[in-house]
Amino acid sequence: MKAAVKVRPEPGGTELLEVDTPIPGPNDALIRMDATSICGTDMHIYNWDLWARQHIKTPRIYGHEFSGTIVEAGKNVDYLQEGDSVSGECHVYCGHCHQCKMGNAHICENMTAFGVDTDGIFCEYQALPAQNLWVNDPKIPVEYLSLQDPLGNAVNTVFSAGDITGKNVVVLGCGPIGLLSITVAKAAGAAQVIAVGHSNKYRMDLARKVGADIVFGKEDDVIKEVKSLTDGIGADAVFEITGNPNAVIEGIHMARAGGTLALLGIFNEPVTLNLTDDIVFKCMDIKGIYGRKIWDTWITTNGLLKSKKLNLDPIITHKYKFNDILKGMETMASGNSGKIVLTF
Amino acid sequence: MKAAVKVRPEPGGTELLEVDTPIPGPNDALIRMDATSICGTDMHIYNWDLWARQHIKTPRIYGHEFSGTIVEAGKNVDYLQEGDSVSGECHVYCGHCHQCKMGNAHICENMTAFGVDTDGIFCEYQALPAQNLWVNDPKIPVEYLSLQDPLGNAVNTVFSAGDITGKNVVVLGCGPIGLLSITVAKAAGAAQVIAVGHSNKYRMDLARKVGADIVFGKEDDVIKEVKSLTDGIGADAVFEITGNPNAVIEGIHMARAGGTLALLGIFNEPVTLNLTDDIVFKCMDIKGIYGRKIWDTWITTNGLLKSKKLNLDPIITHKYKFNDILKGMETMASGNSGKIVLTF
Amino acid sequence: MKAAVKVRPEPGGTELLEVDTPIPGPNDALIRMDATSICGTDMHIYNWDLWARQHIKTPRIYGHEFSGTIVEAGKNVDYLQEGDSVSGECHVYCGHCHQCKMGNAHICENMTAFGVDTDGIFCEYQALPAQNLWVNDPKIPVEYLSLQDPLGNAVNTVFSAGDITGKNVVVLGCGPIGLLSITVAKAAGAAQVIAVGHSNKYRMDLARKVGADIVFGKEDDVIKEVKSLTDGIGADAVFEITGNPNAVIEGIHMARAGGTLALLGIFNEPVTLNLTDDIVFKCMDIKGIYGRKIWDTWITTNGLLKSKKLNLDPIITHKYKFNDILKGMETMASGNSGKIVLTF
Amino acid sequence: MKAAVKVRPEPGGTELLEVDTPIPGPNDALIRMDATSICGTDMHIYNWDLWARQHIKTPRIYGHEFSGTIVEAGKNVDYLQEGDSVSGECHVYCGHCHQCKMGNAHICENMTAFGVDTDGIFCEYQALPAQNLWVNDPKIPVEYLSLQDPLGNAVNTVFSAGDITGKNVVVLGCGPIGLLSITVAKAAGAAQVIAVGHSNKYRMDLARKVGADIVFGKEDDVIKEVKSLTDGIGADAVFEITGNPNAVIEGIHMARAGGTLALLGIFNEPVTLNLTDDIVFKCMDIKGIYGRKIWDTWITTNGLLKSKKLNLDPIITHKYKFNDILKGMETMASGNSGKIVLTF
């Protein structure tokens, strides 16, 4: 089978090779890929940045966002059938540690991730643990189904603030997860979804197409604008998806007292906060977000797909054939894209 | 001023009279009505049924759903100004009983309701307690603003099941509150909104126009259909807005194990339940719903109005001038209406 | 090994036999029993009532409440070791159905229960699915550890009403689960724990020893008393653990408006309710309770055991050697017992 | 009447003077003080630190923690009677701003505080807004009743982490609020309450007397110890009540992934955090806490007082007559005290 393999520990370093088709273990299922999308994590691996150097051993097939079709279920797996459409949660959890027993499998103490610690799905077939598979509704297009992992990040972030129906929310960042968060918040009936980009006009324009009620950029006094749009009160919830330290502080200042700031962005440096005024006296709730709740987030994500309220088409800016994956990587690296989906 | 007064303790018994304009007390505001809508409670009073005979003393100005404009604020009321657009919560709460202190002012131990226990707003001006007023966003049409009371019933019912974004829900009943519940659930991003009417084709057709994904009637095997639409699992939440004993039992059978049945409908007879199979073993959550949470429900309702996701136009089937209020009553009594709004 | 086997489909019908020691499968663990306690379910089987006749196939080893020590872990079970003290959740869940994926493994769509559908633990050794085992803190006495299943029922019931710290609660029923609920509510800092027995003086006396603030019996006007003890407001939560239809209605009348009635008791007949006054207008929340949340309830139960705030000693009224299990059954049948623990 | 008045804008600057007894307005009640306790805020005023210089205008009667008896209810106040025992919420809320309407009166946009912005209760009589009064259970000693304000701070902090029954919690700081938090967490059935002092042996000893399961000091490797006491997992919730920047970071490191850090302490300097590892990837929930929820916190606090599970006697280390208030201030300033209660 064909696979995109990180063969050399260097920027790029990826080749489309012919490799052996995996053989599923007794608790696995062998999946033929139908569609895959490129994640920011894949870009870290492609670009071979510090994180990738610390976490990835070459050779490694990467990629973890997909929808596919089961071609063979392992012998202990009687609840999945050949022909089932499935997607997968990339965080492989143990099921028996304290966090798993608490319902926090997404922060399992014994976690591994396929596409990072083990081979991923930038390839025609992959054998994955059956417990990590989600059976799809085959009526939903495979392009959408392949987005459930990043869409789940957005769902997990947006609903970390509780029920946001009728609430004023701000999305900081108009990258792929920011765009997905905008459509999730709109679909859930937020009173207003205010998006904040910085200077990438392409993505800010996408934010408008996706449905943000208003989009601000670096030239705007966003704190003042948000206050003005909320009768001076501030936003109920702010979703930080940039990793910019200033965005954290500004995000708090945009929020109302007693509001929520959810942090999904990754920061390359420490952030200095005025805890007294900005968190204690303001009764702020600051929440770190990671991955997707297993399977809570997937259930909500699928319900939203079923509702047909998500506006995903403007977010999928590029569709390529899997053979053109390197072109996809370069497009993603340009910053002028939303999600890039590869079909097989 | 003109007022619709229940003058005689009998069916109908309502006259449009010239009466004195009320004088606001120090904690009141005097409001000039802009729009009012007719509630089921008003129909009880009009029809002079058992409930009305037990609760209403004539002469009484009735009506409690409205939007209006402040013409004079009482002397202790410095936070409302002449010209403010307001609507009002009809349940006048004491603010100091245990339920009020718990945040349950809607079930205040010392409650009175205007339009029932005291004079209501089927009239040109009314003086109401300032604490019970909600300042409206003047950009929203007065017809919509006058619906906040029944819309709030729907919001309170729908969100009693928690966050229903991405969930499968059933609305039992296609009367005005049922129709409002359908649009609320759609606006909040429910996976599917399944409506169940009985035999009133007019209202079932309205349910479709409002946005129900599917509408069932008395000829359908609704339990089977709901199971089929939910992969055999059952609905996450069922909203009972008919007062029909059978609907309660069928509602439980449509719900999934661990689901919610919210009861807003009023039953004229006792209901016999198989608690063991239908509630205990099924881990059902049965919730009684009354009025609106003060002010939680109003905040969510306003956020939904702001989101522009509510489809209210098909629900407002008739608009009359206030002078034609008796025509409105008769139209409502026919069953062939949604909400009826009267403007001044 | 020795096992208590229901050998004949008739009342009693239980013999202590020598049978083969089970052989654990690859996902099981073989456990040597240290202590077991007798459940109401075991009494149904012993007495061979309607439920037992419908659900039990003889011969069957019954019993499901235990603590034991692992003597052999199946070959796929690397996270349990010989010598680990364990107890077990008797509801064997599939892990992949919708309810399991929602976190509702206790109402798994493919559930079986050991001690009912498969052989249980009234025997010296049993092989059980490793996924259903809970690793115990060996510092806690085995008698207490064997009670985690019924204690978990009590925990699940009591906390179904949310955080009951500082709340007024009523426990209807002074049988073993009622007694356990009393000590759980006291340990959680309930403002008052009011217990209601009927006419079993032995158990009402146990309720006092366990720590109920006050215990009422059939001669008391309990609704009036509860109102009086709560400044006329009613109890925040009522836990129904009798299965008596009248207790449901009285339980609602003891509760405050907006309160919770949790139903764990099993009713042999339908119950007729005034939904309008008692649920709708009263904003009651009626919750069916089954089993234990897996593993949420176990985590809280263990935390309570660790807190040393539970008063379990008065509840364990009888300790026998396993060989005397039939004596235990007879004692339990007399009604003059709390929990009966058998040690090996 | 006698009153402790901050007469001069300087450290100390407090005199016990004879002043006019206040006259209650129509919405007030005049209260004769029975007991008052000294708050950290009072020490700021006494010591005349930066905060006091910015917020206090002399002359000012300070003090806000009290229990008293109503001697006269204002003419609009029909629900309070002469002779009622009351305590008071010092944050005077407007009742009509957005935060008040959300149920967040403790962060009212138009807040004033008696004892800070207006005259407080270090005096024999005070007229306070009736809406801010809580009617006490006269069976509870006045010394305990006067502590409801700081006890409420502890309740609000501890329960910000959700229901902590059966959970492992850490209290950072053994000052008065830390001590109150320890007894609140114990009363609510926490699995373990781990207290962390620094070097004040007097207060660490109080922490033990109050009921902390273990108390650590500056010589201990607290992060390691907490991990060890929680099977390597970390604490479910950490309550920061010191205002020490290091405590925030250590608090996060003591917590488990997905845990809560509640911040009540006030920081005199900015705090630098590694958001990526310590909040985002760890899924931490950081919550700022201010005052008491009105009236949720008071209800829980009263329920706990009623439960008799709070161990307040060791926390009230000193009782003086009101005339000795300056001695109380000096004792508090020494650091060798818990709460100091003054009676009249």
Domain boundaries, chain C: 2-147+315-343, 154-288
User: Residue B296, SS3?
Assistant: helix
Q: What is the pLDDT of residue A70?
A: 98
DSSP state of B130: G
Decide the pairing of beta strands C214-216 and C192-196.
parallel
Q: What is the pLDDT of residue D101?
A: 98
The answer to whether A96 contacts C131, with C-beta atoms less than 8 Å apart, is yes
Instruction: Record the tokens describing residue B120, joined without a space.
Output: 């209501």
A306 touching chain C per CB within 8 A = no
C271 touching chain A per CB within 8 A = no
Q: Which of A91, A94, A279 to mutate to test the interface with D (most CBs of D within 10 A)?
A: A279
Backbone angles phi, psi at A317, to 5 degrees: -85, -25
* Residue of B168, B188, B192 lying closest to A165 (CB–CB): B188
CA distance B115 to B118: 6
> Is residue C306 packed enough to be buried (19+ CB in 10 Å), middle (13-18) or exposed (0-12)?
buried
- Closest chain C residue to A131, measured at CA: C96
Q: In Å, how far is B259's CA from the nearest CA of chain A?
A: 15
CA distance A177 to A195: 12
Q: What is the pLDDT of residue B89?
A: 98
Beta strands per DSSP E along chain B: 2-6, 14-18, 28-37, 60-61, 65-73, 85-88, 91-92, 112-113, 125-129, 133-135, 168-172, 192-196, 214-216, 235-240, 255-263, 271-273, 285-288, 316-321, 339-343
Q: In Å, how far is D300's CA from the nearest CA of chain C?
A: 5
- For chain A, which ranges sit under pLDDT 50? none
- For chain B, which ranges sit under pLDDT 50? none
* Residue of C275, C283, C288 lying closest to B290 (CB–CB): C283
For residue C327, give the amino acid letter.
K
Residue A253 a catalytic site member: no
Instruction: Record the tokens describing residue D205, joined without a space.
Output: 């000893």
Q: In Å, how far is A148's CA from the nearest CA of chain C?
A: 16
* Residue of C189, C192, C302 lying closest to D188 (CB–CB): C189
- For the segment D319-323, the average pLDDT, to the nearest whole number, is 98
CB C248 within 8 A of CB B274: no
Q: In Å, how far is B75's CA from the nearest CA of chain D?
A: 13
- Closest chain D residue to C166, measured at CA: D303
Residues of B identified as active-site:
41, 44
End-to-end CA distance of chain D: 12
Residue of A41, A230, A300, A317 marked active site = A41
Residue of C36, C41, C183, C297 marked active site = C41
Residue holding tokens 């005349």? D48
Q: What is the pLDDT of residue A282?
A: 98
The answer to whether D288 contacts A279, with C-beta atoms less than 8 Å apart, is yes
Specify the DSSP element, H or E, that contains C135.
strand C133-135
Residues of chain A neighbouring B306 (CB-CB closer than 8 A):
166, 191-192
CA distance B263 to B266: 8
For residue B170, give the amino acid letter.
V
The answer to whether C275 contacts B283, with C-beta atoms less than 8 Å apart, is no
Residue holding tokens 């009393």? C182
Residues of chain C neighbouring D306 (CB-CB closer than 8 A):
166, 191-192
Which CATH code, of 3.40.50.150, 3.20.20.370, 3.90.180.10, 3.40.50.980, is assigned to C2-147+315-343?
3.90.180.10
- C318 CB-side CA count, 13 A: 24
Residues of chain A neighbouring B302 (CB-CB closer than 8 A):
166, 191
Residues of chain B neighbouring A163 (CB-CB closer than 8 A):
159, 162-163, 165
Residue C44 a catalytic site member: yes
Instruction: Record the tokens describing residue A52, joined without a space.
Output: 């990738």
Q: What is the pLDDT of residue A47?
A: 96
Q: What is the pLDDT of residue A62?
A: 98
The answer to whether A303 contacts B159, with C-beta atoms less than 8 Å apart, is no
Q: In Å, how far is D252's CA from the nearest CA of chain A?
A: 12
DSSP output for A211-224 = T-SEEE-TTS-HHH
Residues of chain C neighbouring B258 (CB-CB closer than 8 A):
99, 102, 104, 107
A138 touching chain D per CB within 8 A = no
Specify the DSSP element, H or E, that contains B252.
helix B245-254
Instruction: Record the tokens describing residue A2, joined without a space.
Output: 């064909």
* Residue of C248, C276, C283 lying closest to B107 (CB–CB): C283
Closest Cα partner for A264 from A284, A244, A285? A244
C23 touching chain B per CB within 8 A = no
B320 touching chain D per CB within 8 A = no
User: Residue A58, SS3?
Assistant: coil
Q: Which of C139, C193, C231, C307 to mutate to test the interface with D (most CBs of D within 10 A)?
A: C307
How many CB pairs below 8 A link A and B?
Answer: 74
Give the domain C154-288 fold.
Rossmann fold (3.40.50)
- Closest chain B residue to D135, measured at CA: B96
B281 touching chain C per CB within 8 A = yes
- The CA-atom distances, in angstroms, between A140 and each of A182, A184, B67, B235 are 20, 17, 43, 20
Total-model pTM: 0.98
The answer to whether B189 contacts A191, with C-beta atoms less than 8 Å apart, is no
Q: What is the pLDDT of residue C115?
A: 98
What digits encode the pLDDT tens for the residues A126-180? 999 999 999 999 999 999 999 999 999 999 999 999 999 999 999 999 999 999 9
Residue of D44, D64, D106, D318 marked active site = D44
| Paired residues of B37 in beta bridges | B65, B341
CA distance C251 to C287: 13
CA distance A217 to B320: 47
Residues of chain D neighbouring B299 (CB-CB closer than 8 A):
101-102
Chains that touch A (3 or more CB pairs under 8 A): B, C, D
Residues of chain B neighbouring D101 (CB-CB closer than 8 A):
295, 298-299
- The CA-atom distances, in angstroms, between C338 and each of C64, C333, D43, D132 are 17, 11, 54, 47
Q: What is the pLDDT of residue D165?
A: 98
Q: Which of D91, D272, D286, D293 to mutate to test the interface with A (most CBs of A within 10 A)?
A: D286
How many CB pairs below 8 A link A and C?
Answer: 27
Q: What is the pLDDT of residue D88?
A: 98
Instruction: Record the tokens describing residue A240, joined without a space.
Output: 């930080």
Decide the pairing of beta strands C255-263 and C235-240.
parallel
Q: What is the pLDDT of residue B76?
A: 94
Q: In Å, how far is C153's CA from the nearest CA of chain B?
A: 13
DSSP output for D85-153 = EEEE-SEE--SSSHHHHTT-GGG-TT-EEBTTTB--SSBSEEEEEGGGEEE--TTS-HHHHTTHHHHHH
Q: In Å, how far is C190's CA from the nearest CA of chain D?
A: 6
C303 touching chain D per CB within 8 A = yes
- The CA-atom distances, in angstroms, between A272 and each of A260, B172, D181, D246 are 18, 53, 28, 13
For chain D, give the percent of residues with pLDDT over 90: 100
C257 touching chain B per CB within 8 A = yes
CA distance D325 to D65: 13
Residues of chain A neighbouring C298 (CB-CB closer than 8 A):
101
Closest Cα partner for D211 from C308, C165, C192? C308
Q: In Å, how far is C201's CA from the nearest CA of chain A?
A: 40
Chains that touch D (3 or more CB pairs under 8 A): A, B, C
Chains that touch C (3 or more CB pairs under 8 A): A, B, D
What digits encode the pLDDT tens for the residues D6-34? 999 999 999 999 999 999 999 999 999 99
Residues of chain A neighbouring B307 (CB-CB closer than 8 A):
166, 189-192
- For chain C, which ranges sit under pLDDT 70? none
Q: In Å, how far is A276's CA from the nearest CA of chain D?
A: 6
Residues of chain C neighbouring D162 (CB-CB closer than 8 A):
163
